[in-house]
Each structure stands twice: as C-alpha cells, then as structure tokens.
Amino acid sequence: MVADTDLTEAYIGLDNRNAGEVCAEDLIERKPDGGTLVIIESPDQIPFNERITGFEERLVNSGFEVVTRISGSGDAVGVKDQMLQVLSETRDLDAVMCASDRMAVQVLEALAEAGRRDVLVYSVGGSPEVKGEMAEGGSPMTGIGALSPINMGKAAVSTAAAVLDGEDFEKEVYVETFFINRDNLNIYGTDGWQ
C-alpha cells in the first residue's frame, strides 16, 4: 500500500498475517508439545513482517522456542550460508519458518547439504518450485501459506472496472490466503501459481 492513499483509488493486497497463521496452526498440530525453530525474515519488507507476525502470534504459549533468526533480503541472498551455520551449531531443531519461497529454497538446499531431512520447513508463497519440492517424497518442505496471484489479479481487474464505470467498489481488498500441504497439493498442482 502506498503511504499517501489519496494517490490511489483502491488497494488490492493479500492477507499476509493469515498466511503465517495457517503455517503455525499446522506446526502446532504436528508438534503439540512444542519444539525449537528458526525464523527466516526480512525486517525491511512489510509483507514479510506481517507473515512472520501472524506466525509468531499464533504460536504464543504453544511451547515453541525461537533459537535464532536469520535476516534475508527479498531475494534471499545469504540465507543458505546462514542456515548451514545454524545447522552446524544446533542439532536440536524441529522447524524453520520462511517469510518467502525464495528463502525456503535456500533453507532446503542447506538442509540437503547438511543431510537433514528431519526438520519441518514452512514458507509463504506457493511458487511452482516450492510446490515441486513438496511433491518429492521425503522432502522437508511441509507447508505453504499460499498466496494467489491469480485471484489478486481478478480482484484488481474487477475493482479497476468498477472505478472506470463509476460503480461502487471496496477501497481495500485483501485476497484470501490458505494452506497447501501434501494432502491438497494435487488440487493446486506444481506447474504454476494457484
């Protein structure tokens, strides 16, 4: 969203908090006694912060301890090396929450290099690459707080048409986010975005 909302007619965005929350809900279900986790974030990116905030707020009082935070940029440069360092220092690790699929790809590479398949990996996005990784048997890729660029585009076009036609429209539209795991992956496929 732009800082000066007077410059725009409407805002079409994603429910980033919910994308983080659905990942946390799955983690709690899989690890009801809690555990240890690493958070991969990007403090200078507002959508990433919303995703991690939703994740952490949902985990409150559920027995999880954040052992470290890795700061990655939007393009995830350096995440793999930092994750390898964490893996060399921390054997007891249950899960990793990534603010984006690009970060998750770096984490998955680090886990593969370290020979670790016992860590649950969550991300936000739903890119073909990460869904493809999830489809592979034994992959640590566990769940995705899925975004839908397709539905976001539809909402934007519908809103733009209403603006141009002088019809009523919502000033702020937040497109639903949802959870993808191996149980429903076949619905969304691995060859494109949902």
pLDDT tens profile 17-50: 999 999 999 999 999 999 999 999 998 899 999 9
Q: What is the pLDDT of residue 2?
A: 78
- Residue 22 and residue 177 in contact, taking contact as beta carbons nearer than 8 Å: yes
Spatial separation of the C-alpha atoms in residues 119 and 160, rounded to whole Å: 44
Query: What does the pLDDT look like over 97-126, one tens digit per residue?
Result: 999 999 999 999 999 999 999 999 999 999
- Give the pLDDT band (50/70/90) at residue 75: low
- Residue 179 and residue 19 in contact, taking contact as beta carbons nearer than 8 Å: no
Element (H, E) at 58: helix 46-59
Write out the two tokens for 160. Answer: 């733009």
| Contacts of 29 by beta carbon, 8 Å cutoff, 6+ apart | none
Above 80 in pLDDT, residue 77?
Answer: no
